[in-house]
Each structure stands twice: as C-alpha cells, then as structure tokens.
Amino acid sequence: MEGRAFGVFWEVVERHRARIAELERESKNRDRAYTEAWFRVMAMGSEGATADDKAEARAELVSANAALAAAERELEKAKRRLPLYEQALRQFTPT
C-alpha cells in the first residue's frame, strides 16, 4: 500500500473536487426549480385557479424549497471538507 497510497489519496481529493462541481450544478438547478415553483404559486393567485390548483402549486413550492435547502447543505458540507482533505494530502505529499 505504501507505494500507491499517495495516488489513492490524490484520487479521493480529485473526486471530491468533481463532486463539488456536480453539487454546484445541482444547487443551481434546484434554485431554478424553486424560482419556477414560486412563479406557479403566484400564477395560481389569478382568477380561475381552483383550490386544487393552488394547493398543488404550494405543495410544489414546499417540495422545491426542501430540495434546494438539501442541495445547499450538501454543497456546504462538501466545501467545508475539501480543505481538510487537501491539508491531509499535503501532509502525505512525497518530497
């Protein structure tokens, strides 16, 4: 393991960086979905919208908000951990 451990550690850090990029894209998509859901709620305030229409739009908004919050928490956690992984990797960097 000694000879290849650094390569394994390096790959962990690189995958984590890629995961952060993925989470950033997901967070942006969730933010857009939340904005779209908010628009639908506002649109259901118009005359002609039924109680079911309004309830469905509100439920979509609640769901979109929860998904956005979860994505933001996951991104925050990943960003918080990256410097820890990078610091550990520097400690194992061959000189």
Q: Where are the domains of the chain?
A: 2-91
Model pLDDT for residues 60-81, shown as the tens digit of each residue:
999 999 999 999 999 999 999 9
Q: Classify residue 89 by its DSSP letter.
A: H
> Residue 21: which pLDDT band, with cuts at 50, 70 and 90?
very high
Q: CA–CA separation, 29 vs 74, rounded Å?
A: 14
The pLDDT score that the predictor gives to residue 3 is 61
Residue 2 has pLDDT above 90, yes or no: no
Chain mean pLDDT for the chain: 94
* 3-state helix vs strand vs coil in the chain, percent to 5: 85, 0, 15
Query: What per-residue confidence (pLDDT) applies to 26?
Result: 98
Element (H, E) at 84: helix 51-91
Place of tokens 């919208």: 49
Q: Structure tokens of 38?
A: 């908010």
